[in-house]
Structure 1
């Protein structure tokens, strides 16, 4: 199913600063983004949690890059969903491939983190995607659907409807490689078809972002695909002019 309702889903562009940033960059982004009218595009900047309270966002939202799967307790170094919300976050990335790879986060942990985010009133951006070996094997659709399925099963379809998804082929993150518009569309469409098996309404409304070496010069072509509803932007989100151009492409 290629959704005929793509035009009814509001485009979303989320920046992910990763382990980058400074108070100076916060100030630069505040000025640059608040001066823009993004019209029908929703813009989010996901930053290291120490910077959340420094934003004075009016034309965009701020979000965090991770959240604890625990509510509270003896978990030194972790940050709870309630804490993030109290610091001004409205969104949070969960299950980014770097968390899955470097911190051994399982699909079950990602689902638990999405639950904690929703309980605190945050919108989780749930990431999924395949490594290059899985892409080469031809099993990439099944791999991606399984990652999403665990979250659906844990949350239930009604709560899952409050999430945003982000497809990030691991082989295209920070490598300079980008999935072609056709490759991105294929996975987005197949994941939407899986969700439609649970609820056609949720599938039609679910925003699925693409993340993986998105730049100002390739954003428009990627975002023009019927099942691509915006992007999760890494390196280009650290440069105000590039990030604005990508947001305007959406």
Structure 2
């Protein structure tokens, strides 16, 4: 292309008819109802400030307003703790709560199997009525059964991630294909590509594994605390204040 004219935004808006037509075509996106007289109104409405000079003289200067009327809006981003809302929206896609519940139940059974293994070994390792073959056989059978449940936990989370990613990707494509032309004129191409590529990659890989490790670590911690509370209840005097302190510091 060729640069036909170079000037400030207000000068182009007041003098160049082609640029005025381009800006008026995007008034629905920018939220400006009348751009034909905007240059004159903004020139009249500039605030004036009196300032003391270095040598004691006073001079008047105009304060430029902030550029609120732009073709490309600033992208809105949330910062800080967003709470559980993103995870609830994630689990609502394609029976996400069902797969997450099945995965949590499988992990609970896996933890119960581990506790049963350790309890069986601790209770019967010095029992003369239980032979070594029976002791090891029962221990191995319980371990093999728990392997299937930990495998099912991983499978359910993988299915959850795949179904949710497909649903979100389909919704994103439908929104892009049905968006008006003003959206593509006012939205940078890099922003759209970032949402389609990097953000969806995070949803595909990071979110399901983060949920899986979060659920697994929490259940493991609470199960270990429960076993310690049953065996030696005095540990609660130390563990409960530490749990409250950790929650408050997060």
Normalising by the residue count of structure 2, what TM-score does the alignment of the two structures yield? 0.22
* Larger RCO (CA under 8 A, 6+ residues apart): 1
Greater per-residue helix proportion: 2
Greater per-residue strand proportion: 1
Structure having the higher Rg:
2
